[in-house]
Chains A and B, each alone.
Chain A
């Protein structure tokens, strides 16, 4: 008899996928877990209570990250959408698209290291505004390229039709273009939110440790060998995207092909 091995492999895969989430929550509840103990000597809500008591500033970091990511998502989605129209209706759109790929493809941390001088001169070094501006610079090309397929002949024809029927620019946007782009705008908003939410290297360079987002906190706890708080920060970092996934998978994964 032939054994069907697929259910076993699939069950194993599901366990492997869920394991990091379970392990990180477990580690965030643990304390004084020394080698070679397989089970921690303390397991409880102590770490979480401390965090909510704001002793380590983790809650503050959570809200700083949220504010930075929301700002980056709003600015990059809005500007990406508006500017992409000019780019993708332009006769030289291939050259312009190519130019957008350069910052998109470069490692953000290297980009930030080379830009840090200008941020210093503009007074944007080591503060939240600087981090938002820097993250916006890397999220903008993504948002711009995201809308490349939206500005096609069909949308152009709709715009022409509204103009022929006497509609003005405002009506073209509010009655036709924005309703058509609503779904894509939502996806782009959440994708750029996640680019910012997950960013570490660039934030550490421009924020110079003064802007403590959650990713900065995770790394700080790793360096201090405080793995329990590190795991707790990881939980705060990964559960918002899981919630987004629950509502709509497309917020986290965009169909690219």
Chain B
């Protein structure tokens, strides 16, 4: 009888790719129920009740969802417009290099740069003062660490939009949208119909998984809201880390409750995105 040898590749995959995630989740879960933790004395639901009753999680989730949604919508919309209007020019030698440059800037630098430009003592405040629009720094509008998260959204757009421009330019070429558009026009479609029935459906259908993935990435973004966010409400990752790093031991357990809720949320999103059997639109 043939004995089945364990597949060493799969064993390593489980050890590196699955075990750390499972361990992290189980640890956070046990901590959130008070089973482990420095001052915890056994199973309790009080941390969960406290988090759910205070509404901090839901406020932070709502705040993060709105910010991520606005940033992704504006980025995708802007990138579609740029692709539609400028694709020929963007293929030229110098521009084809320049449009890649924003990808060299990480989140922490984007956050720092946005702060330098839009804070009350920043570049635009100085220009406004010079032009006589303001006489004191405090008169400059709140564009960073503000309630409307203008700075965060602006940073997210400058980080995400260049990626989508490059992505759409790639899809445009690979899917031969140019040829399909010419075909549609020769069959009598006007330019509006070409955009609505050829350009947009193909680009969106080929990239929707990535658009949702970017929404999820922004939902969990840390560096930018850490630099440009306000005290309350905070984006999810900032809230989780702030609670976990607190000296108040009850707050640590509550931080793990939020971490568990967030992990469950993104895990459900991953299941919904990658579990259904379908033709692969997204291939790495």
Are A and B a genuine interacting pair, yes or no? yes
Q: Which A residues have a C-beta under 8 Å from some C-beta of B? A: 6, 9-10, 14, 17-18, 20-21, 23-24, 27, 35-38, 79, 82-83, 85-87, 90, 94, 96-103, 105-111, 113-115, 117-118, 136-137, 140-141, 144-149, 197-198, 200-201, 205, 215, 218-219, 222, 227, 230-231, 234, 237-239, 241-242, 244-246, 249, 252-257
Q: How far is the CB of A63 from chain B (nearest CB, A)?
A: 18
Check if B97 sits within 8 Å of A6, measured CB to CB: no
**A-B pairs with the 7 shortest C-beta distances?**
A86-B9, A107-B220, A198-B106, A114-B24, A241-B104, A36-B129, A35-B121
Complex CA–CA separation, A257 to B103 (angstroms): 18
Pick the contact of B17: A36, A109, A114, A140 (CB < 8 A).
A140
Complex CA–CA separation, A82 to B10 (angstroms): 10
Check if A24 sits within 8 Å of B274, measured CB to CB: no
> Could you mark each residue 104-141 of chain B with 1 if its beta carbon is under 8 Å from any beta carbon of chain A, else 0?
11111100110111000101011101100000010000
Check if B221 sits within 8 Å of A107, measured CB to CB: yes
Residues of chain B within 8 A (CB-CB) of A24 are 109, 113
Complex CA–CA separation, A96 to B100 (angstroms): 33
Q: How far is the CB of A238 from chain B (nearest CB, A)?
A: 5
- Using known A-B contacts A144-B17, A253-B100, determine if residue A215 contacts B129 with beta carbons closer than 8 Å: no
- Using known A-B contacts A87-B10, A200-B223, A252-B100, determine if residue A101 contacts B274 with beta carbons closer than 8 Å: yes
Check if A115 sits within 8 Å of B23, measured CB to CB: yes
Check if B126 sits within 8 Å of A36, measured CB to CB: yes
Q: List 6 A-B contacts (CB under 8 A).
A: A14-B95, A79-B12, A114-B25, A219-B223, A234-B113, A241-B104
Residues of chain B within 8 A (CB-CB) of A82 are 9
Q: How far is the CB of A19 from chain B (nearest CB, A)?
A: 9
Complex CA–CA separation, A58 to B125 (angstroms): 30
Complex CA–CA separation, A20 to B123 (angstroms): 12
Pick the contact of B16: A21, A83, A218 (CB < 8 A).
A83
- Using known A-B contacts A227-B116, A245-B103, determine if residue A257 contacts B108 with beta carbons closer than 8 Å: no
B72 interface residue per 8 A CB criterion: no
B58 interface residue per 8 A CB criterion: no
B198 interface residue per 8 A CB criterion: no
Residues of chain B within 8 A (CB-CB) of A97 are 274
Pick the contact of B103: A9, A107, A252 (CB < 8 A).
A252
- Using known A-B contacts A98-B271, A102-B21, A252-B103, determine if residue A149 contacts B237 with beta carbons closer than 8 Å: no
Which of B39-47, B49-57, B167-175, B182-190 lies on the face that meets chain A?
Answer: B167-175
Question: Interface size for chain B: under 10, 10 to 19, 20 to 34, or 35 or more residues?
Answer: 35 or more
Residues of chain A within 8 A (CB-CB) of B222 are 107-109, 200-201
Near A by CB (< 8 A), chain B positions 1-51 give 7-10, 12-13, 16-18, 20-21, 23-25, 27-28
Residues of chain B within 8 A (CB-CB) of A222 are 112, 115, 227
Complex CA–CA separation, A118 to B21 (angstroms): 12
Task: Please name 12 further chain A to chain B contacts, defined as beta carbons within 8 Å, in addition to the given A105-B217, A200-B108, A257-B170, sorted by A numbering.
Answer: A17-B162, A18-B98, A79-B16, A83-B13, A86-B13, A90-B7, A97-B274, A113-B241, A136-B16, A234-B113, A246-B97, A253-B100
Residues of chain A within 8 A (CB-CB) of B262 are 107, 110
Query: Among the interface residues A10, A107, A109, A255, which one has the most CB atoms of the partner chain B within 10 A?
Result: A107
Check if A111 sits within 8 Å of B21, measured CB to CB: yes
Check if B282 sits within 8 Å of A6, measured CB to CB: no
Check if A257 sits within 8 Å of B283, measured CB to CB: yes
- Using known A-B contacts A83-B16, A96-B13, A200-B222, determine if residue A20 contacts B113 with beta carbons closer than 8 Å: yes
* Closest A residue, CB atoms, query B281: A257
B244 interface residue per 8 A CB criterion: yes
Residues of chain A within 8 A (CB-CB) of B100 are 245, 249, 252-253
Residues of chain B within 8 A (CB-CB) of A118 are 20, 23-24, 27
Check if B103 sits within 8 Å of A253, measured CB to CB: yes
> Could you mark each residue 139-170 of chain B with 1 if its beta carbon is under 8 Å from any beta carbon of chain A, else 0?
00000000000000000000000110011001
* Closest B residue, CB atoms, query A225: B121
B66 interface residue per 8 A CB criterion: no
Complex CA–CA separation, A197 to B220 (angstroms): 19
Check if A245 sits within 8 Å of B101, measured CB to CB: yes
Complex CA–CA separation, A205 to B17 (angstroms): 20
Residues of chain A within 8 A (CB-CB) of B13 are 83, 86-87, 96, 100, 144
B216 interface residue per 8 A CB criterion: yes
Pick the contact of B283: A144, A149, A218 (CB < 8 A).
A149
Residues of chain A within 8 A (CB-CB) of B101 are 17-18, 21, 242, 245
Complex CA–CA separation, A218 to B106 (angstroms): 11
Residues of chain A within 8 A (CB-CB) of B77 are none
Complex CA–CA separation, A219 to B115 (angstroms): 12
* Closest A residue, CB atoms, query B114: A20
Complex CA–CA separation, A146 to B284 (angstroms): 5
